[in-house]
Amino acid sequence: MSIIKTEKLRKVYKDVVALEGLDLAIEEGELFSLLGVNGAGKTTTLKMLTGLTKPTGGDAILCGHSILTESDRLRGLVDISMQETAVARKLTVEENIAFYAELCGQTKKEQAETVASLSKTFGFEKVLNKQAQKLSGGWQRKLSIALALVSNPKILFLDEPTLGLDVLARRELWNTISSLKGKMTIILTTHYMEEAEALSDRIGVLKDGRLLFVGKKEELFALTDKNSVEEAFIELVSGKGGQPA
């Protein structure tokens, strides 16, 4: 059974159609990359799936709950790490994690366990007592992603997680994201095609609010007769590579 299933999901802002009739099914444990140029509808899709904005039409079922009628029940089941680093700047790394864990209803003992577990996963041991504002951009982004894992969500949305990071920090973050594969369902949006190629189980391509393609990268290569996601993506969105999915 799909952990995410959208049915004719649609969003219109005034007279601009941001997303048109999105039908998509994502399986549990999958790492699914949503690709598209600016304004394609990626962030709008994420916002609707996380309950930040209401759809104009259609519905989506996440973990068996409708985003239209049961969005409150999704709290704790889904989490998001947004494009912008979202941490408490004057709290230390440890305090940030403990604060977020307390918000999620964890006891003091559970908070300590969460801090220890995430420190191990993300390698925070050396920066645990540093204020977030004094960390490098890469570490701040790591912390931002780590906070999204505190609630142990079933579905994690990563909106351009490596945006603005240098190549080393990006690679390090890829390793961290890879280590999460299989433990939860991850929906990733990115402008870095090599990121989608390295990390994804399946890829979806959006253009002007419509889903052009959904499938494995090998299927994308076959459809476009290219052998890299970047080349195949360019072929597809520039209108040479087939019909909407």
Partner 1 sequence: MKQSLARIRALTGRNIKELLRDPLSLVFLILMPLGMEILFYFLFSKLTSQFQMKYLAPGIVVFSQSFLTLFSGLMIAVDRSSAFLTRLYVSSAKPHEFIFGYAFSLLPISLAQSILFFVVGGIIDPSLFSARMIAAVAVSLIPAVFFIGSGILFGSLCTEKSIGGVASILIAGQSMLSGMWYPIDGLGKGMLTLMNVLPFRPATLLVQNLLGGVASPFDDFVKPLLIVLAYTVAIFTAAIFAFGSKMKAK
Q: Which residues bind partner 1 (CB under 8 A)?
A: 50-52, 75-76, 78-91, 95, 99-100, 102-105, 131, 144, 147-148, 151
β 57-62/65-66 pair status: antiparallel
CB of 50 to partner 1, least distance (A): 5
If we measure between CA atoms, which residue out of 16, 84, 13 comes closest to residue 48? 13
CB of 157 to partner 1, least distance (A): 9
| Cα distances (angstroms) measured from residue 219 to each of 123, 207, 215 | 36, 18, 6
Sign of the torsion angle spanned by Cα atoms 34, 35, 40, 43: positive
For the beta sheet containing 16-27, the strands, ordered from the edge strand earlier in sequence to the opposite edge, are 16-27, 2-13, 57-62, 65-66
| Cα distances (angstroms) measured from residue 97 to each of 7, 15, 79, 127, 177 | 35, 41, 14, 12, 18
Closer by beta carbon to partner 1, 127 or else 237: 127
Distance CA 57, CA 59 (A): 7
CB of 188 to partner 1, least distance (A): 16
H-run or E-run covering 145 = helix 137-149
Closer by beta carbon to partner 1, 23 or else 84: 84
CB of 25 to partner 1, least distance (A): 22
Q: How far is CA 186 from the centre of its chain?
A: 6
Q: How far is CA 67 from the centre of its chain?
A: 17
CB of 63 to partner 1, least distance (A): 14
CB of 53 to partner 1, least distance (A): 8
Closer by beta carbon to partner 1, 72 or else 218: 72
